[in-house]
A and B are shown apart, each in its own frame.
Chain A
Amino acid sequence: MAAVAEPTHEPAAAIELDQLSLGWRDKVAVRDLSGCFRRGSLTAVVGPNGAGKSTLLRGIMGWVTPLAGRIRVNASADSLAFMPQQGDFDRSFPIAARDFVAMGAWRRVGPWRGFCRSERQRVEDALHAVGLGDFGRRPLATLSGGQLQRALFARLMLHDADIVMLDEPFSAVDRATTEDLMTLLMQWHERGKTVIVVLHDLELVRRHFPQTLLLAGQGVAWCDTEAALTPENLHLARHLCAGDYL
């Protein structure tokens, strides 16, 4: 039996999970997970398909009610940002890239307030930071997959939240874009944000992520990456999920 390393409890925990079970009546996606995401940490969440990774993030957002256990988010609701998996929005909607990115300012601007100059500057800065500085006026529908992903990152940046969660942000994106956006995530991490990313690419995880949560319906490992991603743990995870690949 591979050892499940104990998560280290620190007072400055951004998100705490206590015996958490998440799922629906007929299927439990996450069983009995305990641990915490430390403030300012950069954690990768990995596991086979159907391991409950997306469900976990949605649970933290409050979109899935826990079947058992607790989730404690030590930050205001304003300070929690989430980028779901990409299939969810209407790409052909007639909106300019800039306006799409500007949606990220909702917390400050709300449904009615206008965009003051400083806010508009932030939108421009975000576009530049992701490399879309000249693309502001382009309609969303004309952006390529990689450009769209950059726009999503820009929108997330505008939110300026303390805790940022991303669900498979690099799944349909080329190498160059992945590297650029990964740099951005590192910058956020350096600025003190808590960053949690669900990923499939283990090589990327090993290169950039200090912490990893290996999930397979239940917690297999939650510690620093090297200790988590041992062959035994991976094999166990695969076995637990009867999953196809990692």
Chain B
Amino acid sequence: MPFDDLMLRHRARRRQVLLALAGGSALTAAPVWGRTPEAPLPVVATFSILGDMLREVGGERVAVTTIVGVNGDVHRFEPSPRDAKALLEARVLVLNGLDFETWLPRLVQASGFAGQQVLASDGVPVRRLNAEEGHDGHEHDAAPNDDDAHGDHAHDGHAHGEADPHAWQSLENGMIYARNIARGLAQADPRNAAYYASRAESYISRMRALDNEIRTGFAAIPKERRRVITAHDSFGYFGDAYGIEFIPVAGLSNQAEPSAADLARIVRITRESRVSGIFIENMTNPALAQQIARETGVLMGGTLYADALGPADEPAGTYLGMVSWNAGRLLYVLRQAGN
């Protein structure tokens, strides 16, 4: 029957079309054949600044967990079981080194972490710590000093000759950090090495741009005015890089209540050092800082970020944002001091 022939031919046609479609779609999937779908590389950063850098360099190929988070205090941190668990599940650990994370060796041992450790500060020219009291500032070389060069000074607080761990405060060092991180990720995940390298380079070029901007800004300010007081000596590298003298004075940060002696010392040093501004860290009682500003007539500079980033939605929520913020505050204060 002619009708039956027609139906047969239709059915055949339909089958052909379907087969063709199937074949076509199979072909489009061809590039995926032979590879398993990729999960991001689990990595752990010890604190927020490294965490941000990791995210920049690693992009979407990494899943970053940060141990000491936003506004956290790395010096006083106590690890919890949750941190051990996160570490165990990671394949790469990025740490600062230079004795910054004193709690880390025990955490690594306790968690049984067997993955790769990346020393972010590898190859960074290390700065030695001054005494906590403000001196007339020494100029330290970028290269590590001999320990006995300053043996005649008596200091309290940090032992003299200890390495200053806050190397990231200088953008030059930040670039070294980025390269170290890229290299470390490439070792753990060779397939994406090129990806990490290119991301690191673009990150570094942004750092360089910011660095130039900051240098130009500070150069415009006369040297004698580039002197400020902070409560903690975390800005040594920044100071060396841009020619600013940071006078650290202990006794304002993180104490329930200072003594009159502490406050008097700070006021006295401020008066004697003829600084342009006073900067406090995230956690101090603002009433005391205001008292000092009132007493000495020196400008209150506000907050500088030293060991931790601010919340993600704030300017200091990223590494570049933090450096930019600190530089901005300093520039503002130093410019004002001239008037």
- Touch between A and B in complex, CB under 8 Å? no
